[in-house]
Structure 1
Amino acid sequence: MKKVLFIDRDGTLCIEPPVDYQLDSLEKLVFYPKVFRYLARIADELDYELVMVTNQDGLGTDSFPEDTFWPAQHKIIQAFENEGVVFSTIHIDKTFPHENAETRKPRTGMLTQYFDKDRYDLENSFVLGDRITDMELAKNLGAKGILLSENLDLGASEIESDKNAISDCIALTSNDWRKIYEFLKLEDRVYEVTRNTNETKIYIKLNLDGSGNNHISTGLKFFDHMLDQIGRHGAMDLTVKVEGDLEVDEHHTIEDTMIALGELFNKALGNKLGIERYGFCLPMDDCLAQVAVDFGGRPWLVWEAEFNRERIGDMPTEMFLHLFKSFTDGAKCNLNIKAEGDNEHHKIEGVFKAFAKAMKMAVKRDVNKMFLPTTKGIL
């Protein structure tokens, strides 16, 4: 099945004339910076069919004659084709008056051919545009939307006020086609898992490329605090909801959570193309924590940390080794952890912070080096 990139024209490829919003002369034609360079890379490197979809209200009327429209339109198409960018289809709605017209965005009357599930993968397709109607079109198609807004705050506000009309909307700046290219090339790394047993009920959602927006509740306050370190210092969004048999003890809650989190990391890393793979040494007051990681596909743990207290908060210190071992089993990674110092709280918190930094370093991707970091050819 083919993925499609539905691209609006005015305000997305070309700067929309600010007065009458009609691109009806060559003098008004101005392309967005870097659009040729990065749309050409999208066409060359990524597996999308490019489709132009544009509303041209009143086209063909006295106020917007067709003979003023087509010279600019032909120039746009020719300019992109000269750079290797070919639109497979160009859909122009010129219905006037356009009220309730089925062919006008955000309605899908022009695009019924793309509902063929044997040919098109709309779920993993995108609508790229600068208006809320473009995002509504994405929802109506069952695709994802990329909202290009000169003012990100304004775009986010519009999204917030129109949540019911918008599905999977991402806000980007309209004048930076490099960011659009990188977003499309670096596939979304947001995954979730539900793991239910007779001992625990676990839900975890992970965004490897987040900002430390965490919602964590395991029933163990200190464990919550440590998991929060992973999200915040690893720049990941982490939601963890756990109901465990704490009436027995803490073991199952901690072990099962880390197994599930490790499995989720492994899933989110996917084919591992472009990742750094390795990654931290971190001081915390009197303590020094060192965490080295290798997402090489094999589980292993080296643990060099001793604790003289039986518990820190509501967590048994004997579980620290075990929780990281559980993570390596799920994530199929190597971990080498060392910690030294006097304050037990600082020591383990330093370990979790260093672990988070190691994760952040290792999962980072380089859009210009999308190959496996290995001589084996497989991870």
Structure 2
Amino acid sequence: MKKVLFIDRDGTLIIEPEDEQIDSFEKLEFYPHAFQYLARIANELEYELVMVTNQDGLGTSSFPEDTFWPVHNLIMKAFENEGVRFSEVLIDRSFPRENLPTRKPGTGLVTHYMKGNYDLENSFVIGDRMTDVQLARNMGCKSILLSDQQDTEATLTTTDWSKIYQFLKEEPRKGKVTRVTHETNITVEVNLDGNGKSHISSGLGFFDHMLEQISRHGNIDLTVQVKGDLHVDEHHTIEDVGIALGEAFYQALGSKKGVERYGFLLPMDDCLAQVAIDFGGRPWLM
């Protein structure tokens, strides 16, 4: 499932003026370091980018569209030139007094993300107001608040885009798969950024030992819990664990940005073993 960053515009990507309305080029000032670190997030990390912004009264006499779009289009083009592309731009045009469900913190504009194939639990809303934090709560997301006032509800509070990048980069890559067939009931969890802890119970002692080696030498946290038809044979248990383990790695790796296919040998005291693990997209144990 895809992870998403739902990013506010005014006060987050650009500095918000005192009158809270960017209706001329003279008012446009980009938020410090937003280009540099949002570009790194877009290029290095596994997030879809979506802009969600309230623009009070857009299209009315108080905020004509012909004063909004030229500046907005320049903002979008400037970020696109730095490698930052938003898959969707969601704009609410209402006034606060209207209290419409499409206005943040309402979820009217983002319901298709809440109903779609998205990992909202590990997605973030990034903005400079409490309405952004409340939107995250309403969506079941985490939140990052761009403010110098700490907020206990926000997952991270900062005024520095470099800290946002570092925080998101350190988010662990995890995968969890449950596989139930007539022969087996298997749950596999992996954390690729763990420290080599494992909890393995397949009912096959030597197989448990081999799985523990993947965890220990790969510095991966690995949990494997299996109920299999061992009274028949070991085949179903080993095969289905391999499938579930491959699918869990596939989840955790996402699009495999920054990962190359490689291998190495591990000589031991009395033997030399060669093991190949292929991250080419085929979820099988080899």
- TM tier, shorter chain? 0.5 to 0.7
Instruction: Note if 1:171 corresponds to 2:156.
Output: yes
Alignment of 1:218-237 (within 5 A): none
Q: 2:100 matched to which residue of 1?
A: 101
Please name the residue that 1:48 is paired with: 47
Q: How much has 1:13 moved relative to structure 2? A: 0.5
CA distance in 1, matches of 2:76, 2:61: 25
Instruction: Write out aligned runs for 1:255-294 (5 A).
Output: 270-272=191-193
Deviation digits for residues 190-219 of structure 1, max 9, x if unmatched?
xxxxxxxxxxxxxxxxxxxxxxxxxxxxxx
Alignment of 1:1-379 (within 5 A): 1-17=1-17, 19-96=18-95, 98-117=97-116, 119-149=117-147, 151=148, 154-156=149-151, 159=152, 166=153, 169-174=154-159, 176-187=160-171, 270-272=191-193
Aligned residues: CA RMSD: 3.2
Equivalent-residue separation in structure 2 for 1:3 and 1:96 (angstroms) = 30
Contact 1:135–1:147 (Cα < 8 Å) also in 2: yes
Alpha-carbon distance, 1:35 to partner: 1.1
Conserved? CA contact 1:50–1:89, under 8 Å: yes
Contact 1:58 1:97 in 2 (8 A): no
Conserved in 1, the CA contact under 8 Å of 2:172 and 2:192?
no
Output the CA distance in 2 between the equivalents of 1:48 and 1:97: 30
TM-score, length of structure 1 as denominator length: 0.47
Question: Structure 1 residues 115 and 34 mapped into 2: Cα distance closer, same or farther (>3 Å)?
Answer: same
Q: Alignment partner of 2:150: what SS? A: helix
Distance in 2 (CA, whole Å) between partners of 1:172 and 1:375 is 42
Aligned counterparts of 1:66 and 1:98: Cα–Cα separation in 2:
20
After TM superposition, give the deviation of residue 58 of structure 1 in Å.
1.7
Q: Which runs of 5+ in 1 are unaligned?
A: 160-165, 190-266, 278-294, 298-330, 334-368
Structure 2 unaligned regions, length at least 5: 174-188, 199-214, 218-257, 266-275, 278-286
Structure 1 residue 271: deviation in Å? 1.8
Residue type of the alignment partner of 1:85: V
Offset of 1:142 from its aligned partner? 0.7
What is the CA–CA distance in structure 2 between the aligned matches of 1:134 and 1:39, rounded to whole Å? 18
> Could you tell me which residue of structure 2 aligns to residue 234 of structure 1?
none
Post-superposition CA distance 1:336-377 (Å, at most 9, x none): xxxxxxxxxxxxxxxxxxxxxxxxxxxxxxxxx999xx9669
Q: 1: distance between equivalents of 2:13 and 2:96?
A: 25
Deviation track 1:269-303 (CA, whole Å, cap 9, x = no partner) reads x3248xxx8xxxxxxxxxxxxxxxxx698xxxxxx
Aligned mates of 1:98, 1:74 — CA distance in 2: 28
Q: Displacement of 1:180 after TM fit?
A: 0.7
Partner Cα distance (2:29, 2:259) in 1? 33
SS in structure 2 at match of 1:90? strand
Q: Look up the SS of the partner of 1:127 in the other structure.
A: strand
- Tell me how far apart the structure 1 counterparts of residues 145 and 131 of structure 2 sit (CA, whole Å): 10
Deviations 1:69-107 (A, max 9, x none): 111100010001111111000001011364320100000
Q: Secondary structure at the match of 2:5?
A: strand
Q: Which structure carries more helix by proportion? A: 1
Report the counterpart of residue 360 of structure 1 in structure 2.
Answer: none
Aligned partner of residue 67 in structure 1, secondary structure: helix
Partner AA of 1:141 in structure 2:
M
Q: Which has the larger radius of gyration?
A: 1
Q: Distance in 2 between matches of 1:122 and 1:46?
A: 16
Paired position in structure 1 for 2:268:
none
Aligned residues: 198
